[in-house]
Each structure stands twice: as C-alpha cells, then as structure tokens.
Structure 1
Amino acid sequence: MEWRDEGIILATRKHGETSVILEVMTRGRGRHLGMVRGGRSRRMRPFLQPGNRVDVSWRARLDEQLGTFQVEPIEQNAARLLESATAVHGLQTLAAHLRLLPERDPHARLYETLGLIIAHLNDATVAGALLARFEIMVLDELGFGLDLLQCGATGTRDNLTYVSPKTGRAISAEAGEPWADKLLPLPPFLKSGAEISGDVQAVSAAFRLSGYFLARHVYEPRGITAPESRASFLAALLKALDRQAPTAPTV
C-alpha cells in the first residue's frame, strides 16, 4: 500500500531512539499517522514541527498498519507560530478538534480551512473569528451542523441575532425578543458572507455558542471535556485583543 499527498503537521512524538510518529492532516486522506525513520535527526527536526506544510509519502504492507512516512518540506510556519501564545494554543486547539473526527477520514474543506487559519493565527483580529468558524465546521462535519442562514421561527434571512440552544437554528431579533434571555447570541461574523473579524464581545459570544453545541453533541456523549488548549487560546486571544484597536482585514 502506498500513496502521496500534501499535509499539515499536527503533532509528533518520539519513537525509539531516532524516529518519530508523525500526525498530519492531509488533503485527500484526512488525519493520518505514520513513522518517520530518522525524524529526530538534526536535518529533519526543523521541518517536522506542528504547523508546517509538507509533502508526505506513506507506505505499509497492509492498509491498517501504522506505516512509514517519507516527508519533504513545502512551507515552514512553525517558527512564526512559536512567537505568539495565541498561535501556539490555537494550533493545539485545531489539532484537538481534528482528533474528534475518525482517523483517515477525508475532510478536504477542513484541510483548506486549517491552512487558512494557520496563515493568520498570529493576527488576533481575525484568529478568533476563524477558529470559531472552524468549530462550527467541525460540528457540521460530525453531523451536528447549525442552521445560521435563516430564522427558524419565521424563515426570514434578515436581522438574525440569536441561535436556539434546542434546535441550533438562527432566530431573528423580532422573533427572539420574548425569549432573548434563553437564546444564544449570534455574532455577526458567523453569518454567511460576513466580514471575518470580531471584537472581544463577539469572539467570546462565538466561542460560547460553538462550545455549547460541542459539549452537548460531542464532549458529553463521549465522556470527554474540551481541550485545555481551547481555554488557553481564548485567554491569550482576549488579552491580545484588549491591547489592539479593532481592525477589519480582508481574508
């Protein structure tokens, strides 16, 4: 069995004296693990780092085996990401979310979005909005997608400001007003076609929204908790946002 693909490194762990087990998110074959012989060498260590984009060739006698990787660098992002606590915790959170999906299950849309987020993890003005959107996408890939396109009560696509915690559907300001204290706020940047940026209040609301449905549909049924890196990312992000004037870069 053999294949070749492009991937983004999520994590590594030592294997024996000289090798590593590499975890990558690939474009066509999803999250995949394999052994890299000599991966702890001085030559290979710099590009076998989380966040780097690589060309990977996998080989094994049987498909169900761990197999081995041959790896060549394409884009080295790790050094840049290590300069920011927001980026470090963000990348760890992205990897944890991808581990909620079955190994070797292709998710091309998540792969492309992962690359986009990694390119902007150092920018606090967009990193939070992008990662919150990623969490909504993960819910969708797991079969628990939210309907944020139209009001679940009236069908209108205008003035959507809430989300029902029961149905996961957007609710307009008018329809939701009587039950506003029981509904979840819908940040503007989560709406289709919206500008990808958010202030402290909007980002916090977005993570409360995605966190609520992740806990309800994923964490609690599996008997697990949210990754610690998620709380660390939010703390670092909100601290960075407090220090910056809000901007609206185009992504």
Structure 2
Amino acid sequence: MQWTDDGLILGVRRHGETSVVLELFTRAHGRHLGLVRGGRSRKLQPALQPGNTVRATWRARLEDHLGALAVEPLSARAGRLMERADALHGVGHLGGLLRLIPERDPHEALYEAAEVVADHLDDPTSAPALLVRLELAVLSELGFGLDLSSCAATGGVEDLIYVSPKSGRAVGREAGAPYAEKLFALPPFLVAGGANASPTAADVAAGFALTGYFLDTRVWGPRGMRPPDSRAAYLALLQRAA
C-alpha cells in the first residue's frame, strides 16, 4: 500500500530513540498517522512541528497498519507561530478540532479550510473569525451543521440576528424578539453574504459562544469530552486583548 498526499501536521509523538509518530490531516486521506524514522534528527525536527504542512508518502504492507511516512516540507509556519501566544493556542485548538474527525476519513474541503486558518493564525485581525468558521465547518462535517440561511419561523432571509439552540437554525429579528433571551446572537459575518464583513470583538465572541454551545452539546458532551484547554486559553487571550 502506498500514497502521496499533502498534510497539515497536528501532532508529533516520540517513538523509540530516533523516530516519531506523526499525525497529519491530509487532503485526500483524512487524519492519518505514520512512523517517521529519524524524525528526531536535526534535519527533520524543524519540519515536523504542529502547524507546518508537508508532502507525505505513506507506505505499509496492509492498509490497517501504522505504516511509515517519508516527508518533504512544503510550508514551514511553526517558526513564526511560536512567536505569538495566541497563535500557539490556535495551533493547539486547530489540532483538537481536526481530531474530532474519524481517522482516515477524507474531508477535502475541511483540509483546504484548515490550511487557510493555519496560514493566518498569527494575524489577530483575521484568525479569530476564521477559527469560528472552522468550528462551524467541523460541526457540518460531523453531521451537525447549523442552518443560517433563512428564518426558522418565517422562511425569510432578511434581518437574521438570532440562532435557536434547539434547532440550530437562524431566526429573524421580529420572529425572535419575544424569545431573545433564550436565543444565541448571530453575528453578521456568519450570515449568508457576510463573508467579507469585518467582525468586531463582540461579533467574534458571539460566534465562539454559538459554536461552543453546539460543539459541547452535540460533539464533546456526547463523547464524554471536555472543551479543549487550548480553546479556553485562546478565548482568554482574545478577551484580554478586547
């Protein structure tokens, strides 16, 4: 068995004296593990850092084996990401989100989105909103996507400012007014057509509150998991900056 694919590094674990087990999120083969012989060498260690992208060739005798990986650096982001605390926590959170995807289950669109996020984690003006969008994308890939395209009560597409915690659907201003205290705020940058909106700190906080609730109730909670510490640390830094 053999394939070659591009992969975003999620984690590295020591194996023996000189090798590592590398965890990748690949474009066409999903989240995948493999043994990199000599991965702790001075030559390879700088490339095998979470947040970097490599071209990987995986080989194994049988499909269900761990297999061996040979890697070639493509994008070395880790060096600059290590210079910012928020970027480091962002890398950890990015890895935690992608680990929710079943191993070896391909999600090409999610891979492309993760690459964009990784490229911008050291940009405090764009990274938070991109991470919110990635959380929404992970929910969707796991089968728990939110419907933010029209009002759950009226079917209208204008003035969508709420989200129902029960249905995960958008709600318009007028229809939601009587229940506003029970609904989540829907920030403008998540509304259809709002991709180019410049979110405020309050918008980003509302986005994380929204995605956090559905991740907790539909993914983390049912799996017996707690929200990752990296997410909490990232949000704490955002709040402090705001």
> Fold match, TM over 0.5?
yes
| SS at 1:124 equivalent | coil
2:202 pairs with 1:201: yes
| SS at 1:221 equivalent | coil
Contact 1:129–1:197 (Cα < 8 Å) also in 2:
no
How does 1:3-18 map onto structure 2 within 5 Å? 3-18=3-18
RMSD: 0.9
Paired with 1:183 and 1:190, the residues of 2 have a C-alpha distance of: 16
**Match in the other structure for 1:246:** none
How does 1:153-232 map onto structure 2 within 5 Å? 153-194=153-194, 195=196, 197-232=198-233
Q: Deviations over 1:28-70 (max 9, x none)?
A: 0011000000000001001111111111000001100100000
Please, which moves more after superposition, 114-123 or 165-174?
A: 114-123
2:93 pairs with 1:97: no
Shift in Å, 1:196:
5.2
| SS at 2:125 equivalent | helix
2:39 pairs with 1:39: yes
Paired with 1:111 and 1:36, the residues of 2 have a C-alpha distance of: 22
Paired with 1:62 and 1:126, the residues of 2 have a C-alpha distance of: 42
Number of matched residues? 241
Unaligned runs of 5+ in 1: 243-251
Name the aligned partner's letter for residue 169 of structure 1: R
Q: TM-score scaled by structure 1?
A: 0.94
Shift in Å, 1:110:
0.9
Paired with 1:34 and 1:193, the residues of 2 have a C-alpha distance of: 41
Shift in Å, 1:101:
1.1
Contact 1:50–1:78 (Cα < 8 Å) also in 2:
yes
Identity over aligned pairs, percent:
56
**Match in the other structure for 2:56:** 56
Paired with 1:236 and 1:168, the residues of 2 have a C-alpha distance of: 28
Paired with 1:52 and 1:22, the residues of 2 have a C-alpha distance of: 12
Paired with 2:197 and 2:53, the residues of 1 have a C-alpha distance of: 24
**Match in the other structure for 2:82:** 82
Cα separation, partners in 2 of 1:47 and 1:201, compared to 1, 3 Å: same
Paired with 1:31 and 1:196, the residues of 2 have a C-alpha distance of: 32
Please, which moves more after superposition, 175-184 or 197-206?
A: 197-206
Q: TM-score scaled by structure 2?
A: 0.97
**Match in the other structure for 2:240:** 239
